[in-house]
Amino acid sequence: MTTKNIHGKVIELLRGDIANQPDMDCVVNAANAQLRTGGGVAGAIHRAAGPELEEECRPLAPIRPGEAVITAAYNLPNRYVIHCLGPVYGSDKPEADLLAACYRNALRLAEENNIESITFPAISTGAFGYPVEEAARVALRTILGELPGLSTVKKIRFVFFHPSDLKTHEQVLEKLGKE
């Protein structure tokens, strides 16, 4: 696990389950365009939230790569879920811009809703095939770039299923800190 204080904000990287983040205001869903349940992160979030989440999502769908929408969290231990559609690697282009837009749009919605703490998964690195190290560079560079402009958001956490993904993100964050 890594904790860093940057621009007065806390950045945390740790292993964990996106559906079990009880100390955070908001969790981010690596959603599909239809905002339905599925595998990976979307499955975990919808299973834990219950069927009302899909009901609230239905009129908001479809969303496009890079877009984000916000809903209540129902049976999840959070106030909100922000649903982001990441790019499918090799097909939604330019991937890096679309992935960066996910993180920027999620943080914009967080600020608009007075959210103080938000947990992200590694968007697009599962079923959507984005190589983890490349995705980590885009995600962490975007977050670091947004930090000075944030006012309500005080804590940003990334959770990873695989220990190797945590390690990769820790190494990338370390490198970005030296740039």
Q: Is 65 in the site for ligand ADP (CB under 6 A)?
A: no
- Pick from 11, 13, 18, 68 the residue near ligand ADP by CB under 6 A: 18
Q: Is 70 or 128 the residue whose CB approaches ligand ADP more closely?
A: 128
- Nearest-Å Rg of the Cα atoms of the chain is 15
CB of 8 to ligand ADP, least distance (A): 27
Q: Is 128 in the site for ligand ADP (CB under 6 A)?
A: yes
Q: Is 59 exposed, middle or buried (0-12, 13-18, 19+ CB in 10 A)?
A: exposed
- Pick from 165, 166, 170, 172 the residue near ligand ADP by CB under 6 A: 165
Sign (positive/negative) of CA torsion 114, 119, 120, 126?
A: negative
For the chain, how many helices (H) and strands (E)?
Answer: 5, 7
Q: Is 53 in the site for ligand ADP (CB under 6 A)?
A: no
How far CA 102 is from CA of 22, 52, 175, in Å, comes to: 23, 24, 22
Stretch that binds ligand ADP, among 36-44, 59-67, 108-116, 138-146 (CB under 6 A): 36-44
